[in-house]
Amino acid sequence: MNTHKKIWLAVAVFAALALLTGLPEVIRGIAARGLWGVNYGRVGFPLLLLLWAGMKYRRW
């Protein structure tokens, strides 16, 4: 496995961890403030980063 693949794999792992830790926060926020009062960036950004890292990982 070359260095580029290792880097993208590490980025994907950290993005997955951020996604998993952000989900309970979003769920609690929806329960407290409703759908429109929640910061979806806690889940949206790691999800996009995870998808991007997966595409880059496959490319190398």
Mean pLDDT of 30-45: 93
Which value, in Å, is the radius of gyration of the alpha carbons in the chain?
A: 14
**Average pLDDT across the chain, whole number:** 92
Mean pLDDT of 26-55: 93
Query: What is residue 13's predicted lDDT score, i.e. its pLDDT?
Result: 95
- Name which of 47, 30, 51 is nearest 39 in CA terms: 30
Query: What is residue 16's predicted lDDT score, i.e. its pLDDT?
Result: 95
Query: What is residue 17's predicted lDDT score, i.e. its pLDDT?
Result: 96
**pLDDT tier for residue 59 given thresholds of 50, 70 and 90:** confident
Domain count, the chain: 1
The pair of three-digit structure tokens given for residue 40, joined into one six-digit string? 């979806």
DSSP string, 7-60: HHHHHHHHHHHHHHHHHHHHHHHHHHH-GGGS-THHHHHHHHHHHHHHHHHHH-
Query: What is residue 53's predicted lDDT score, i.e. its pLDDT?
Result: 93
Residues spanned by the domain of 11: 3-59
